[in-house]
A and B are shown apart, each in its own frame.
Chain A
């Protein structure tokens, strides 16, 4: 019983982290059909920047928001300098974003070295809650709350605002959206920046319990890809369901079949794809 409750809780909180990471990736996919290999770099760099800001200002909130803004701006530069002209060319996009990801990884190694970093968690978020005989770390509850808040905000923006309607129009049919006067390239730029900022937030949050180190960028990237593949490109609902599913599969897989832990993650994904090639909530 205790095993199941603990693993369930761990799986859901890991899923929450994955949602923060994958929501942006999914929006970028849906919007621009870009396989964005820099998404893991934004996660890694976000955490490193937050460590710097935390050391300077001592404020967790400033570090979190500062990292999101700085990495968001980085995303704007990447989009404007490298990706704008490559729409529709999948291979060119993969190779360009891969090149950027390698450059970021190497620069991060040059600046921050090979040691792992942790984001120091404020005292209010450390410790744990006790419910009956179970203990729940406050930080993991915080992760779930942050992911929940981001999910609600994103949903409201996408479904209930004018900008959101424009985004959905651009996802459904970019040409038609352009035809009715929507500036699709500005919307794309905004989505790319938002995706980068969300990846940075997830990096900061992950920095509080996983820590980051060189190579964490590509490690987490494959998880984000799996979430988006399972959920369906461009679907927020898909990102949410996919994150929970992947978080739980990964946790139970590692606990129950440690030898096959990656297999228990990727094999169900392959099975879902075999039935629904566009993911659970994706449209072709």
Chain B
């Protein structure tokens, strides 16, 4: 297959997927609509991580912290100060981006295992504040009764279907923004850094600055996911941003396929569906999640998208052999 054909095939696939996401939901039972909404929000988080993990090669172990900053912005501003959607959205994204800008200064001094550990610890700083700064965050109890946004539109976002479309719009927006970034010269430089930092440095690129900007954008997008999550859930608590969420996000990206954006959403979909279905039938959800972690690394190190690509190549080779 020629590359142009592959591109058109992918575009067609994407258009069909989008059409299903737009047309399908009114016909879905409420439970599935819930899963779909959750999947889209976690997809935004996973894609934001993919920007630094898949494209830049930085494994962050504290990504849930930025989701938490976005979520707490909504929780605190909407319940106590009656702030509207516009305000919480801007504050959530800017706060997450600003904290990422500070954390990035510390974390990007390190590489490899050190980077993992530092991002983990910085994520714990945010979690610790959420947990103990009770006067601001209400600690362990969390902030409940977060109202759904009112945008002055003729439909109410407290209903599941309109809210779903709001989240879908957010997802498409995040996807487009991240896609433009990874396809730009900036994005190609990130991939170059992932492949060989020293080579990019020799070529005269400011490696640190590229990583730093990617890190800050990634944090801001994760904050956006947090804003939507808080409105969706109506409740914000420290468990939204604890270490297990950060690692689950890593798993989503690894499971779907690093460096593919949409792969991250496939990973998010698998985990969200598994989590909800399995925990409905058995108490042993953690056990199964553990097996998924190990199985992903063992049997699909390049993720679902990687496995599909390999399979595609293999069948194409076979096809060309049989026609030759």
Contacts and interface: CB of A to CB of B under 8 A. Distances in A.
A233 B132 contact: no
Interface of B: 53, 59, 61, 103, 105-106, 109-110, 112-114, 116-118, 120-122, 124-125, 127-129, 131-135, 243-244, 247, 250-251, 254, 284-287, 289-294, 296-297, 301
Nearest to B301: A92
Interface in A84-117: 86, 90-92, 94-96, 98-103, 105-107, 109-110
Contact of B112 (A90, A95, A107, A270): A90
A126 interface: no
Interface string A55-89: 00000000000000000000000000010001000
A277 B115 CA distance: 9
Contacts of A102: 286-287, 289-290, 293
A100 B284 CA distance: 14
Contact of A95 (B129, B133, B134, B254): B254
A262 interface: yes
Contacts of A103: 286-287, 290-291, 294
A90 B120 CA distance: 14
A278 interface: yes
B121 A94 contact: no
Interface in A185-242: 218, 222, 225-226, 228-229, 233
What are the 3 tightest A-B residue pairs by CB atom distance, in nearest-first order?
A262-B128, A99-B293, A102-B290
Interface of A: 29, 33-35, 37, 82, 86, 90-92, 94-96, 98-103, 105-107, 109-110, 218, 222, 225-226, 228-229, 233, 258-263, 265-267, 269-270, 273-274, 277-278
Given A259-B132, A274-B105, A277-B110, A106 B124 contact: no
B289 A94 contact: no
Q: Is the interface of A mostly helix, strand, loop or mixed?
A: helix
A86 B130 CA distance: 35
Contacts of B132: 258-263
Nearest to B139: A259
A253 B293 CA distance: 36
Contacts of A109: 286
A222 B110 contact: no
B289 A91 contact: no
Contacts of B114: 229, 233, 277-278
Contact of A260 (B129, B243, B244): B129
Contact of A106 (B110, B251, B290): B290
B248 to A, nearest CB: 9
Nearest to A257: B132
Contacts of A91: 53, 59, 250, 254
B interface SS class: helix
Nearest to A229: B117
A45 to B, nearest CB: 14
B11 to A, nearest CB: 30
A95 B127 contact: no
Given A94-B247, A270-B125, A225 B120 contact: yes
B94 to A, nearest CB: 21
A258 B135 CA distance: 12
Contact of B109 (A37, A101, A277): A277
B293 A35 contact: no
Contacts of B297: 86, 92, 95-96, 99
A101 B286 CA distance: 10
A270 B121 contact: yes
B113 A29 contact: yes
B281 to A, nearest CB: 15
Given A91-B250, A102-B289, A110 B284 contact: yes
B101 to A, nearest CB: 14
Nearest to A109: B286
A96 B243 CA distance: 15
A90 B128 contact: no
A20 to B, nearest CB: 20
A266 B122 CA distance: 7
A29 B114 CA distance: 10
7 contacts: A99-B293, A105-B286, A109-B286, A225-B117, A261-B128, A262-B131, A266-B125
A259 B132 CA distance: 5
A217 to B, nearest CB: 11
B109 A266 contact: no
A277 B291 CA distance: 34
Contacts of A273: 106, 109-110, 118, 121
* Most chain B Cβ neighbours within 10 Å, of A82, A98, A218, A267: A98
Contacts of A29: 113
Contacts of A110: 284
A252 to B, nearest CB: 15
A262 B59 CA distance: 23
Given A35-B116, A99-B297, 8 more contacts: A94-B59, A99-B289, A106-B290, A226-B124, A260-B133, A262-B132, A269-B121, A274-B109
A263 B129 contact: yes
Nearest to A274: B106
Given A96-B294, A106-B290, A222-B243, A262 B124 contact: yes
